[in-house]
Structure 1
Amino acid sequence: MKVLFLGRGVIASVYGWALERAGHEVEFLVRPGRAADYGDGIRLSLLDARRGLRGTRREETWPVTLRESLEPGHGADLIVVSVGHHRLRAAAESLAPHLGSATVLIFGNVWEEPDDVVAALPADRVAWGFPQAGGGFDADGVLQAALLRKVLFGTLGGAPPTAREREVRVLFATAGFTIAERADIRGWMWAHAIADAGMFTAAFRLGSMSAMIGRRDAFREAVLTTRELLPLLAARGVDLRRHRAFTAGYRAPAALVAATIAATTARVPLAQISLAAHTDAFAEEPVRLVRDVIAEARRLGVPTPRLDRADALIDAHSSAA
């Protein structure tokens, strides 16, 4: 299968590497002028945990194919879109005239109504999934990342997967991934977004997510912030009973949960890598996500005092900059 990734970010690079190693043709669509900046290879330092939680360290320079435009006849069977949630609508609109026969996999955070944010794309051409990987490019341009075995998928409304959606699942399964279905993928994506908002809020206080490693106080703040956002999910129509595995961790004693996460991030490389690579708490995506969650909470009349304090930290950082 020919797979085209939109952008050459962390998720695109990690999964592109895995799919190419499984025998698929992989290309990256980047902005005009960026191909020369990126060069023709990605330096990887990857902890690959598809065959066990201890993981296997992969270090290599991976030659990649970059393109700066999407001409007719591009031949892609699948286009993978993993962009910041605030860029998703524009990405869908830019791709719509150039799809050819490709299926589009939305593969990242979503905070708006899913079918609305990608309304520019034919609904029967869209698949929904979520990665289980993380990391970042270090100061030397090396991608420091971790890759887990599971990949999450679901359909809007819980309908059975279409033939196109099944093909996407098979693609990942044959590349060594375990497919985990989410019956309510819309609710799950929104739940993940508020979990991220909790983490970002804690990172604002410390200056980076990397500074959270091993810090009980930081993870307690993250847990409590996400806990106060559970009513927001309910106000948006999410049935929290369908997401008990998610909500349980935020309804348990915050000090206990925080201590467990802090110890895990301090001692387990797989848990540490994703945080260690995030050295700028006030990057565009964290700021935009927190503010979009705040806006939705205010629209629905849900109080979010912890998130409001995070908003003040954003303002203070912007003023200082």
Structure 2
Amino acid sequence: MPTPSSAHNPTLLALLDAGAGHHAEYGDRLSNHLPMAAFALHRLGAPPARLQAWAAAYATRLQPAPAAEAWPSGDAWAAHLGRREAWPIYRDLFTQWLAQEGAGDVLEAVLPRLMEGCAGAAFHGLIRTAYATQSAHRQELADALAHWAAVWQPVTVAAPAPGDASEPDPAAVLRRLPLPPLPIAGGLIADRVATVAAWPGFAEAAAQLRVDEHTLERLARGAAELYAASGSFTLLHLLTSAHAVRVLLPVLDDPLPAVQAYWRAYAAAWAASNARALGAVPLQPWARIIEAAIAADDDHSAKLVDSCREQQRAYGGDVWRRAASRVVAARA
């Protein structure tokens, strides 16, 4: 099935235009999924009426964007990372910066530092930025980058001793991670990630992974396998965030530090998931999976299925369809 072009979808572009009126978060630090899910629905082939109906229903939970605030003159762009209240000034900064230099140059400048805090808001700054780059909608990209900067949450890993970073298999390193008592307290993924990241021994154990050009694919496949087996909401975000990293990496001349930063966040999120194997669900054809995702009223099904289909196109294999089949099972 050919992928529709966002540049020729007036319904999607109108939704992204209108999205500038919404805050990046709502409720208790929940991320606004409207632009991400709208693009995913579009790419899955949702008709205009479905796009409009889904967006209208979802928008009822959102909050209006706060009043515009100017970026403080003279401040370095990274001066306010991790401050949720800084979203309006980051919005101003990225709106101006993108207008002056364009998406490629801005992303090249900020991605290395932003990736260090990609765990923030359950990876949604990262995921929204990847969707925004694919939509080629400048204001949406500014808002996405502003969200990422405002929720930036680093996961620190100790520098490995010489020879320690020798294990190429992420699954082997994950099995060695010291874990806090389970289940970990905290209603939000980001809070549980912070608990794991601060746990004694976590940083040293995570530093054992040798990151190379194959690491991201291993992480992506691992997330898909784990989600297919468990249906874990936390692991769903590892699956979709691995897709987002793959989308953004071509901007960087040296992608491995970004993959290293992503691995740190990935490891902490995996440890925080407390996922349990539920058994496989029946493998479904893509047509039925996509139909279920388009019909779903939640804010994650379309993104999950879109990521699975795009990752299968990039990497091959059937694990992506097994993971995506959970959407059909959830609606059964």
Q: Name the TM-score, length of structure 2 as normaliser.
A: 0.31
Greater share of residues in strand: 1
Identify which of structures 1 and 2 has the higher relative contact order when contacts are C-alpha pairs closer than 8 Å and 6+ apart: 2
Q: Name the TM-score, length of structure 1 as normaliser.
A: 0.31
Greater share of residues in helix: 2
